[in-house]
């Protein structure tokens, strides 16, 4: 927060930035003819989502799909136009068919697969949390420092157009001094992949394996913790929490419901909760300030102003949504232009999922050599927070966060 005052001085009239941000829409590379050849490693649910989004990005061509599981590889190949299948990462890298890889293997396998790919000199996109241990994170960060290509983290908030726009408001005087932070992720789902035999079950259901999982705090929370890190440019210093199994009493020991409290050095608090037992309100993050609160819902963003907050003019033209007793101003780039075209409907959101923009940023950076929106150093910090939160929840003891 201390740096924000300084920022305000440097960006007088910062709110006007909302009107000059690039139009929301579809990723186009500087030179679509460049044709980045991408291999997707891991063709499970997330890998197939990556394949689907890559198909939409001009300049990216999926040339390889790699998975040790035959059924998954076949499903992945069906999401591509003529890619070659590989059961082994080394063989795929040695084939010379890829300039870049998107890694969507289980989190605990990230360090080994990422190291192989970085050493092979290809550009690397690493989905989700960086690793399941701090040591694993450090391993990747060290390897990335000597990488020939771009190494990007798949923490998606930093490339999400709504989040980028909302951050300009947060970094201006619209929110003013931070009061508190809150986030949740609720989905009613078992987190279990059906598997007919025990070996396959262990491989596919690694998120429910207490030996390797970082639970809801690590697997889901990390994405959201990074949003707060990015917005506030600060990190929590300690975390406490608890968890339980509220719905999925199928023999699992990994909690299906958690809550934790992350505390910052100045006493500010981030409350986080996640559950697999209820889907109400899904996933969002809220930053409460003395002038306004900003709520981020991945495809949408809103600002809720306090009645004593100064009027800044632009609100007059803004699209609004009612949330019980509160009125939210929709944060979307080009709102005025969209309204004039009759396209600004209530709750208008991003046309693509966050993953699309994260991949688009990666492909663009791999093509131009620019720095990706989320570098592995930042991903390592967010992941370490998720790991500490998981440990606090599973052990019932407060954990200090040393980044």
Partner 1 sequence: MGTRFELVLANDRDEHELRSAGESALEVIRDWHDRLSIFDRGSLVSRINREAHEKPVRIDRDMLDLFSACERWRAMTDGAFDIAVGSLMEHFGFRDTGATENVPPFGMDLVEIDADAMTVRFTEPGVKLDFGAVAKGWAIDRALDVLREEGVTSALLHGGTSTVGVIGSDRDGEPWRVRIEDDEHAPVALLRDASLSVSAPSGRLNERQEGHVIDPREGKPSAGARLAAVIAVYSAETDALSTALVVLGERPGSIPGDVVSILPAQGSTPGGWAAAGDAAGRVIVSDSGSDQEGQHAS
Q: Which residues bind partner 1 (CB under 8 A)?
A: 26, 45, 48, 51-52, 55-56, 71, 77-82, 189-190, 192-194, 196, 248, 250, 350-353, 356
In whole angstroms, how close is the CB of 132 to partner 1 at the nearest point? 22
Distance, in Å, from the CA atom of 206 to the CA atom of 209, rounded to the nearest integer, reads 5
In whole angstroms, how close is the CB of 42 to partner 1 at the nearest point? 16
Three-state DSSP string of 301-367: EEEEECCCCCCCCHHHHCCEEEECCEEEEECCCCHHHHHHCCCCCCCCCCCCCHHHHHHHHHHHHHH
Distance, in Å, from the CA atom of 131 to the CA atom of 243, rounded to the nearest integer, reads 22
Q: Cβ closer to partner 1: 249 or 324?
A: 249
In whole angstroms, how close is the CB of 127 to partner 1 at the nearest point? 17
Q: What are the tokens at 112?
A: 């080994």
For residue 37, give every residue at least 6 positions away whose Cβ sits within 8 Å of its Cβ, in sequence order, or none: 61, 63, 64, 97, 98, 99, 100
Q: Cβ closer to partner 1: 127 or 173?
A: 127
By the 8 A CB rule, do 86 and 43 touch? no
In whole angstroms, how close is the CB of 79 to partner 1 at the nearest point? 5
In whole angstroms, how close is the CB of 78 to partner 1 at the nearest point? 5
Q: Cβ closer to partner 1: 216 or 384?
A: 216
Q: How far is CA 111 from the centre of its chain?
A: 18
Q: Cβ closer to partner 1: 23 or 402?
A: 23
Q: Cβ closer to partner 1: 32 or 310?
A: 32
Distance, in Å, from the CA atom of 40 to the CA atom of 306, rounded to the nearest integer, reads 46
Q: What are the tokens at 313?
A: 């003019």
In whole angstroms, how close is the CB of 276 to partner 1 at the nearest point? 11
Q: Cβ closer to partner 1: 97 or 192?
A: 192
- Comparing C-alpha atoms, which of 204, 191, 192, 196 is closest to residue 68? 204
In whole angstroms, how close is the CB of 52 to partner 1 at the nearest point? 7
From residue 137, give the alpha-carbon distance in Å to each of 236, 314, 386.
Answer: 18, 43, 12
Q: What are the tokens at 273?
A: 């909760």
Q: Cβ closer to partner 1: 248 or 391?
A: 248
Q: Cβ closer to partner 1: 201 or 377?
A: 201
In whole angstroms, how close is the CB of 281 to partner 1 at the nearest point? 19
In whole angstroms, how close is the CB of 193 to partner 1 at the nearest point? 6
In whole angstroms, how close is the CB of 185 to partner 1 at the nearest point? 17
Range list of H helices, 187-287: 198-204, 215-216, 222-232
Q: Cβ closer to partner 1: 48 or 110?
A: 48
Strand 123-126 to 151-153 pairing: parallel
SS3 46: helix
Q: Cβ closer to partner 1: 179 or 195?
A: 195
From residue 110, give the alpha-carbon distance in Å to each of 139, 158, 321.
Answer: 10, 21, 41
């Amino acid at each position: 927060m201390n740096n924000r005052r300084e920022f305000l001085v440097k960006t007088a009239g910062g709110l006007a930035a909302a009107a000059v941000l690039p139009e929301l829409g579809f990723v186009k590379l500087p030179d679509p003819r460049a044709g980045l050849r991408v291999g997707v490693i891991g063709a499970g649910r997330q890998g197939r989502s990556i394949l689907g989004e890559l198909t939409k990005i001009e300049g990216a061509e999926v040339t390889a799909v790699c998975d040790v599981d035959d059924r998954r590889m076949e499903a992945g190949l069906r999401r591509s136009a003529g890619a070659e299948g590989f059961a082994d990462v080394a063989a795929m890298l040695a084939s010379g068919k890829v300039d870049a890889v998107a890694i969507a293997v289980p989190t605990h396998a990230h360090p080994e697969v990422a190291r192989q790919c970085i050493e092979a000199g290809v550009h690397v996109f690493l989905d989700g949390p960086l690793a399941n241990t701090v040591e694993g994170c450090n391993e990747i960060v060290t390897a990335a420092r000597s990488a020939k290509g771009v190494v990007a983290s798949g923490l998606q908030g930093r490339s999400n157009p709504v989040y980028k726009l909302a951050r300009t408001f947060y970094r201006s005087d619209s929110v003013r001094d931070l009061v508190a932070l809150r986030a949740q992720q609720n989905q009613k789902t078992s987190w279990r992949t059906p598997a007919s035999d025990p070996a396959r079950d262990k491989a596919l259901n690694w998120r429910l394996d207490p030996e390797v999982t970082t639970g809801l705090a690590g697997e889901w929370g990390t994405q959201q913790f990074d949003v707060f890190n990015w917005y506030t440019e600060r990190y929590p210093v300690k975390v406490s929490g608890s968890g339980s199994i509220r719905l999925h009493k199928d023999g699992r020991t990994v909690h299906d419901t958690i809550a934790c409290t992350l505390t910052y050095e100045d006493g500010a608090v981030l409350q986080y909760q996640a559950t697999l037992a209820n889907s109400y309100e899904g996933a969002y993050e809220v930053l409460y300030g003395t002038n306004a609160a900003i709520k981020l819902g991945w495809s949408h963003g809103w600002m809720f102003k306090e009645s004593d907050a100064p009027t800044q003019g632009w609100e007059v033209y803004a699209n609004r949504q009612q949330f019980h007793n509160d009125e939210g101003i929709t944060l979307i780039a080009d709102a005025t232009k969209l309204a004039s075209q009759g396209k600004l409907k209530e709750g208008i959101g991003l046309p693509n999922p966050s993953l699309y923009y994260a991949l688009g940023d990666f492909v663009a950076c791999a093509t131009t050599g620019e720095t990706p929106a989320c570098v592995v150093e930042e991903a390592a910090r967010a992941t370490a927070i998720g790991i500490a939160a998981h440990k606090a929840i599973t052990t019932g003891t407060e954990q200090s966060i040393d980044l």
